[in-house]
Amino acid sequence: MGLIKKFISQTRKPEGFLGKMMVNGMNGGHAKMADWGIMHLPKIRPEKVVDLGCGGGRNAAELLRKYPGSKVTAVDYSEVSVSKAAKFNKLMIEAGKIEVKQGDVSNLTLEKEAYDLATAFETIYFWPGLEKCFTEVYKILKPDGRFLIVNELDGMDESGLKYEKMIEGMKCYTTEQIKEALEKAGFSDVKTDHHESKPWITVIAHKF
């Protein structure tokens, strides 16, 4: 495997030196897309928020900025990502506003029906079975909870298909595929949006 391919493959689960380099670039590289996605959230006042696949931790900080009255839990299954997210949010962790945990979205050990909002930025490509993982998210959300998904790739553009071939275990999904898996997991009132000029997509699902 060439060095470039090895580096790109770190998007799945950052490890070692290349993983640290990848995570260091995630916060800035995905910022505009993440902020575009966050803008789609309805007017809610969540007490507890969980960011799944938190990467470098930047989005957890932005969620707390949007909802200063909340407590945000950031979860990732990469030790490198957990370490970076903890450093990035050091002050808010010390203030008791952000918590960073290592975890697996296919088997979440978080408290059931505890969160008002769950988010997943640039991560469901690597989740082992959407319906199974979405069911895990459904379990930890309170009734009336929301689940926000934001992806840079829409499952139809050529760049996404290229990355699928380069990164083992990666799958780019269309909004329809995501919606179908969410509904099978129990979610309803699924709303989708596609950026007018980029392959960015946002999906928001509701747990009633």
Helix (H) / strand (E) containing 189: strand 188-194
pLDDT of residue 16: 56
pLDDT of residue 90: 98
Q: Which of 10-24, 50-64, 152-166 has the lowest mean pLDDT?
A: 10-24
Whether residue 86 has pLDDT greater than 50 = yes
pLDDT of residue 167: 84
Q: How far apart are the C-alpha atoms of 163 and 140, rounded to whole Å?
A: 31
For the chain, what are the domain ranges? Answer: 3-100+109-206
How deeply is 96 buried, as exposed, middle or buried, from its count of CB atoms within 10 A (0-12, 13-18, 19+)? Answer: exposed
pLDDT of residue 163: 84
pLDDT of residue 169: 86
Q: Which of 11-15, 77-81, 111-115, 197-201 has the lowest mean pLDDT?
A: 11-15
pLDDT of residue 165: 83
CATH number of 3-100+109-206: 3.40.50.150
Confidence of residue 15 (pLDDT cuts 50, 70, 90): low
Task: Name the pTM for this structure.
Answer: 0.90
Q: What is the mean pLDDT of residues 50-69?
A: 97
